[in-house]
C-alpha cells in the first residue's frame, strides 16, 4: 500500500538545515576521500562539544533559522 506523495507535507526539523550546511561546508573545505566516515567524525565532534557543556549546534541552528 502506498501513500500519494502530493498529499503529504514534510517538515525539516529545526536546526537540521544548519547542521547539513555545516557538514557540506566542511566537506568542501577538507575534500575527504571517504565522505561517510568524515561525516561520522564531524557529527561525533559536535556531539562531544554539546556534552562538554559547549554550544548545542541544533539549538543554535534553530535560532538562526527563525
Which of 43, 62, 61 has its CA nearest to residue 51?
Answer: 43
Which of 27, 29, 53, 51 has its CA nearest to residue 40?
Answer: 27
Q: Which region holds residue 23: left if phi is over 0, alpha if psi is between -120 and 50, else beta?
A: alpha
Question: Looking at residue 66, what is its pLDDT?
Answer: 62
What average pLDDT does the chain have? 83
pLDDT tens sequence across 10-20: 888 888 888 89
C-alpha cell at 26: 566542511
Number of structural domains (the chain) is: 1
Question: Looking at residue 4, what is its pLDDT?
Answer: 60
Question: Is 52 within a domain?
Answer: yes
Q: Whole domain around residue 59: which residue ranges?
A: 35-65
Which residue is listed with cell 565532534?
Answer: 45
Question: Is 10 within a domain?
Answer: no
Amino acid at each position: 500500500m502506498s501513500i500519494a506523495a502530493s498529499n503529504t507535507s514534510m517538515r525539516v526539523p529545526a536546526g537540521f538545515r544548519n547542521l547539513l550546511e555545516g557538514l557540506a561546508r566542511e566537506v568542501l573545505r577538507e575534500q575527504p576521500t571517504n565522505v561517510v566516515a568524515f561525516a561520522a567524525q564531524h557529527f561525533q565532534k559536535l556531539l562531544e562539544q554539546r556534552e562538554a557543556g559547549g554550544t548545542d549546534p541544533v539549538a543554535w541552528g534553530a535560532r538562526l533559522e527563525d
